Amino acid sequence: MEKTLVSREFDGSTLSIETGWMAEQANGAVWVRQGDTVVMVTATASQAPRPGIDFFPLTCDYEEKMYSVGRIPGAFMRREARPSEAATLTSRMIDRPMRPLFPKDFRNDVQIVATVLSTDQLHDPAVLALIGAGAAVAISDIPHAGPVAAVRMGLFEGGLVENPNMPDMERSQLDLVVAGTRDSLNMVEAGAKEVGESTLVEALSRAHERIRQIIAMVDELVAKVGKPDMEYPHVGISPELKAAVAEAVDGRIDQVFREADKAQRESQIDALREEVAGQLRSRFEGQAGDIPAAFESVLKSAVRRAVLDQGVRPDGRRTDEIRPIWCEVGVLPRAHGSAVFTRGQTQALSVVTLGTMSDQQRLDGLGLEEFKRYMHHYNFPPYSVGEARPLRSPGRREIGHGALAERAVRVMVPPADEFPYVIRIVTEILSSNGSTSMASVCGSTLSLMDAGVPIAAPVGGIAMGLVTDEQDPSRYAILSDIQGIEDALGDMDFKVAGTRNGVTALQMDMKARGLSSELFRRALEQARQGRLFILDKMAQAIGAPRTEMSVHAPRITTLEINPDKIRDLIGPGGKTIRRIQEETGCSIDVEDDGRVFLATVDEAAMQQAVAMIRDLTESVEVGRIYKGKVVRIMPFGAFVEILPRQDGLVHISQLADQRVGKVEDVVSIGDEIMVKVTEIDDRGRVNLSRKQAILELAGRDQSGNGAQAGVPDGDQPSVV
């Protein structure tokens, strides 16, 4: 087989796209490589349209192969099972810029599969997968208005950087993935650390320049091996049918879509749709199946006309107006933190659970991160949209919305060394009418503050929409806080989350062909104004994190021990640490660096566990006074255990402040005596003095200071 390859130098490494020798039965297949990261992407279409559907059936899959990083999967069967969360999110990221560019009337099944074959953990395979998806479809005979390419942007002290290495992204202020065509951008995904809107606009401009350069590579490949587009049966609505539907609903459609209540509006729209279908079915007998699509087209035009010509949205709001908001915290008595956030008919219940470090999620994927201590899980039950259907495990939508909300708030959560808790938030969508992911952001923030988590700043979120004139794309309206009908019939879903100081996450999907930089700048500014309004409303419910955590939340104490003492704490086969946990009821986690995390709701049990651990792991210090137990007597002195498995010698001359003839005259085995550590020699042997301990303690008693054993006194030696 003949190989065809195009390549270009980017960022100190070569990006290459190769085809011609792999997966020959797919409509298009490419091998994308940068460094030692290799992703194969295939695009395959069915030979004929799927019968009986009115949508384009596209599937995008991102396959993480553990052999790509030299690992064996951690699953029981030791093979790749269900996709990781990161793989699911990447699958969605491939779908979102590709889908709008397929013909609206294309009904053939299309599947794009990106398989990660090798990764050096320097060059991001997700970005290469998106580039490969655009290239595989471009060289195939599948109709598409691409090519599409992508770039990841980072922000460092030196400024913006295209496609930073994966380890460098750990310290980046911005993690921005942008996809688009040579003319415009149609997908943006970002997490940020309070980055300003102007910086984001600059990053998008830089990203688009790189996207054009990559598309030039794809164009070169298409010129060499590209296939002509396949023929397919075009599906369309006849102008006569559309005109008949418009005439049938004339004067009534505006009243129907302007009903503010979602359930009533949808009921009235359904009733009108059925009425129109009944009127026109016999007249357009051969086109009866197109009547619902014609109705949707007329409805969409009516909504757009009202917004653009009259500045009136379906629920009567101005284009920049936010729906009514109310919030409440502490709604669940036993939860560690809880909050309800309601905006219009969208309502989210967010619940916080605080756990120990052993509750971290272990990640079995291709990324650098091995554990996750902040988790957000998003649930979208059927009752939230007034439906009755079986409950299922989370799908791609739930995973994607949860990840977006998690990303938005995670940067405000204090690090583990300041707040040594694992945090899980579950958001239950109680009612949905647009922007549930951004409601999850607001609910998460409120519930964290209710739980007493010292977040750096509150985070709010808002979803923006766009309505353009179908005849004149330069005429448009940006909508703040879109509801469901505006999302379904509009051209953009643009979610922005952040604090008062800057953006922490954003996600943009275009249903039209793309977005200009100026429109993006305006949308960001309008989103900022809306976000500030929402944050003000949230502050009325709770303005800052509570200073006290729930009585039901575990209290965590952190100790630092000598790493060499970890084996003493664990004990043979974990026997010692299990005994402490059983006796005290505390949960104990030990890190390799010597940090020990203890968690319990019982303060007395905590103190008991701390004392037991210190007894096991404390090191002897010269100058300190200890209460010890005589364990052995020799003619020249007594051996006294001052810490578990740590004893020292009290020489006969140091047993008392007068001459001692025999050791047994002063002490016996089992006696508890006060001793002072006077020396630890170069062989680790400990020398003790009972005489000095007695004199020093007597001196404290006479001075009236530190008379109670165990209380340190200024510069005086402390007593244990």
Read off the pLDDT of residues 365-410 as tens digits, 9 standing for 90 and up: 787 778 899 999 999 999 999 899 999 888 999 999 999 999 999 9
In this structure, what CATH number is given to the domain that contains residue 267? 1.10.10.400
- Going by pLDDT thresholds of 50, 70 and 90, the confidence category of residue 22 is very high
User: Using an 8 Å Cβ cutoff, are 142 and 229 in contact?
Assistant: yes
- Going by pLDDT thresholds of 50, 70 and 90, the confidence category of residue 712 is very low
- Going by pLDDT thresholds of 50, 70 and 90, the confidence category of residue 513 is low
pLDDT for 265 equals 84
Q: Is the pLDDT of residue 4 over 60?
A: yes
The answer to whether residue 439 is domain-embedded is yes
Read off the pLDDT of residues 35-44 as tens digits, 9 standing for 90 and up: 999 999 999 9
pLDDT for 698 equals 82
pLDDT for 365 equals 75
pLDDT for 701 equals 61
Read off the pLDDT of residues 515-541 as tens digits, 9 standing for 90 and up: 777 888 999 999 999 999 999 999 999
519 plus 447 within the same structural domain? yes
- Which of residues 561 and 221 earns the better pLDDT score? 221
Which of these three, 170, 191, 225, is where a domain ends? 225
- Which of residues 10 and 262 earns the better pLDDT score? 10
pLDDT for 700 equals 65
Read off the pLDDT of residues 251-274 as tens digits, 9 standing for 90 and up: 788 778 877 788 888 888 888 888
51 plus 121 within the same structural domain? yes
| Residue for token pair 């990840």 | 403
Which of these three, 617, 646, 665, is where a domain ends? 617
Cα 8–Cα 13–Cα 16 angle in degrees, nearest 5: 40
45 plus 168 within the same structural domain? yes
pLDDT for 711 equals 36
pLDDT for 267 equals 87
534 plus 560 within the same structural domain? no
Read off the pLDDT of residues 563-582 as tens digits, 9 standing for 90 and up: 988 998 999 999 999 999 99
The answer to whether residue 712 is domain-embedded is no
Classified as helix, coil or strand, 598 is strand
Read off the pLDDT of residues 661-676 as tens digits, 9 standing for 90 and up: 999 999 999 999 999 9
| Percentage of the chain modeled with pLDDT above 90 | 62
12 plus 44 within the same structural domain? yes
Q: In what order do the strands lie in the sheet with 555-560?
A: 555-560, 595-600, 587-590
DSSP 8-state secondary structure symbol assigned to residue 655: S
pLDDT for 714 equals 36
The answer to whether residue 550 is domain-embedded is no
216 plus 349 within the same structural domain? no
The answer to whether residue 407 is domain-embedded is yes
Quote the CA–CA distance of 68 and 115 in Å, as a whole number: 10
The pairing of strands 422-431 and 374-379 is parallel
570 plus 692 within the same structural domain? no
DSSP 8-state secondary structure symbol assigned to residue 511: S
Q: Report residue 139 as tokens.
A: 């060289």
18 plus 155 within the same structural domain? yes
Domain that residue 563 falls in: 555-617
The answer to whether residue 548 is domain-embedded is no
219 plus 247 within the same structural domain? no
**Across the strands, what pairs with 61?**
113
pLDDT for 164 equals 94
The answer to whether residue 671 is domain-embedded is yes
In this structure, what CATH number is given to the domain that contains residue 673? 2.40.50.140
Chain centre distance of CA 445: 14
- Which of residues 621 and 644 earns the better pLDDT score? 621
Residues 6+ apart with CB under 8 A from 357: 373, 416, 420, 422, 589, 591, 597
Among 599, 554, 601, smallest CA distance to 580 is for: 599
What is the rounded radius of gyration, in angstroms, for the C-alpha atoms of the chain?
A: 34
In this structure, what CATH number is given to the domain that contains residue 599? 3.30.1370.10
In this structure, what CATH number is given to the domain that contains residue 492? 3.30.230.70
Q: Which residues of 82-111 are buried (b: 16+ CB within 10 A; e: fewer)?
A: ebbbbbbbbbbbbbbbbbbbbbeebbbbbb
169 plus 252 within the same structural domain? no
Q: Which amino acid is at 217?
A: M
Read off the pLDDT of residues 441-488 as tens digits, 9 standing for 90 and up: 999 999 999 999 999 999 999 999 999 887 777 788 999 999 988 888
Q: Is the pLDDT of residue 707 over 60?
A: no
- Going by pLDDT thresholds of 50, 70 and 90, the confidence category of residue 179 is very high
The answer to whether residue 400 is domain-embedded is yes
Q: In what order do the strands lie in the sheet with 422-431?
A: 325-329, 337-343, 346-355, 422-431, 374-379
303 plus 335 within the same structural domain? no
Which of these three, 541, 563, 581, is where a domain ends? 541
Q: Which amino acid is at 332?
A: L
376 plus 509 within the same structural domain? yes
- Which of residues 700 and 386 earns the better pLDDT score? 386
Domain count, the chain: 5
The answer to whether residue 423 is domain-embedded is yes
Instruction: Compute the average pLDDT of residues 139-164.
Output: 95
